[in-house]
Amino acid sequence: MGAETYPLLRGLHITCVGLSLGLFLLRGWWQWRGSPLRSSAWARLVPHVNDTLLLLAGIGLALMLRQYPFVAPWLTAKLVGLLLHIGLGIAALRNWLPGRLAGMAWCGSVAAFGYVVGVALTRDPWLGAGG
């Protein structure tokens, strides 16, 4: 792989991060408003394609850096944050919970996403706060 592969993959990863957050906020808005758009084919497909790309690019970066979850603490923290984001996101966006709880799950999911970005920027599970 050429020297340009890493920055390209990183660019793809970061682009997908922005799209992922935007799409997640949009789906939360639609859910909150009870918009029929939330169950459109588009809303079902596009976020999942983007999130798969995001994950694959992340795995590619980790392989190129030779840093892995359960070895490098920041990548373990990213994975835990990602699982929280996904779990709380599913709980919020499927019609499982009453409105208030769904709203709380959604806020928690956005917070977990923010945590993952913070860990990515600092490469530190404690976000550079020491510990």
Residues that bind ligand HEM (CB under 6 A): 10, 13-14, 17, 54-55, 58-59, 61-62, 65, 69, 75, 78, 82, 85, 113, 116-117, 120-121
Q: How far is the CB of 7 from ligand HEM (least distance, A)?
A: 9
Residue 27: partners with Cβ closer than 8 Å, 6 or more residues away: 38, 43, 47, 93
Query: Smaller CB distance to ligand HEM: residue 35 or 84?
Result: 84
Q: Rounded to the nearest 10 degrees, how much is the dihedral formed by the CA atoms of 121, 122, 125, 127?
A: -100
Query: Smaller CB distance to ligand HEM: residue 106 or 113?
Result: 113
Q: How far is the CB of 93 from ligand HEM (least distance, A)?
A: 15
Q: Which residue is nearest to ligand HEM (CB)?
A: 58
The token pair at 122 is: 């600092």
Contact (CB, 8 A) for 19 and 74: no
